[in-house]
């Protein structure tokens, strides 16, 4: 069984954080909703505790599993986005086993461009490594 490389996850989340100044927090979760790694921008006041972020990850993956049943009719999810009063949140599937979670400043309005033109291309660049880890799961 292949285990995930936590140094790779750390470097990947740091790389995502550096893509855009309005990205506040980045997390990687597995298909079971376990938060494997997360990082936040220096100086950003976190809105949720570490425990609340873990709960958020688990709930996000639970919602993702309900979306999958509609994929044959509506296509694969590119990303899910939620705009809240204090923060914007997005879930971006990496593959069937891993998901990128992130928050952006509430003032950020151009989230689609950031996700589609910066984040998804970076995920695609690193996808073979995530796929390798996914193949080793039981």
Sign of the torsion angle spanned by Cα atoms 17, 47, 27, 97: negative
What pLDDT sits at residue 133? Answer: 84
Q: Give me the pLDDT at residue 41, please.
A: 93
Q: What is the pLDDT of residue 46?
A: 87
pLDDT tens sequence across 4-15? 788 999 999 999
What is the average pLDDT across 90-101?
A: 95
Q: What is the pLDDT of residue 134?
A: 80
Provide the pLDDT for residue 138.
Answer: 40
Contact 98/28 with Cβ under 8 angstroms?
A: yes
Per-residue pLDDT tens over the stretch 23-79: 999 999 999 999 999 999 999 888 988 899 899 898 888 888 788 888 899 999 999
Q: What span, in angstroms and rounded, lies between the C-alpha atoms of 97 and 37?
A: 14
Q: CA–CA separation, 15 vs 105, rounded Å? A: 18
What is the per-residue pLDDT for 45?
86
Nearest 5 degrees, angle CA 112-CA 116-CA 120?
135
Mean pLDDT, the chain, whole residue set = 91
Supply the pLDDT for residue 74: 93
Provide the whole-model pTM.
0.90
What are the pLDDT digits (tens) for 103-121?
999 998 999 999 999 999 9
Cα–Cα distances in angstroms (integers) from residue 22 to residues 42, 56, 81, 112, in the given order? 12, 20, 15, 13
User: Structural domain boundaries of the chain?
Assistant: 6-135
Domain formed by 6-135, architecture: 2-Layer Sandwich (3.30)
């Amino acid at each position: 069984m292949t285990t995930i490389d936590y140094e790779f996850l750390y470097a990947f989340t740091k790389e995502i954080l550096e893509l855009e100044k309005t990205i506040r927090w980045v997390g990687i979760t597995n298909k079971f909703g376990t938060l494997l790694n997360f990082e936040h921008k220096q100086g950003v006041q976190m809105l949720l505790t570490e425990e609340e972020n873990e709960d958020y990850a688990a709930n996000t993956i639970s919602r993702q599993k309900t979306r999958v049943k509609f994929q044959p009719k509506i296509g694969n999810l590119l990303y899910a986005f939620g705009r809240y009063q204090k923060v914007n949140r997005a879930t971006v599937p990496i593959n069937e086993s891993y998901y990128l979670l992130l928050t952006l400043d509430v003032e950020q309005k151009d989230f689609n461009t950031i996700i589609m033109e910066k984040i998804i291309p970076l995920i695609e660049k690193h996808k073979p490594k995530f796929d390798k880890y996914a193949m080793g799961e039981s």
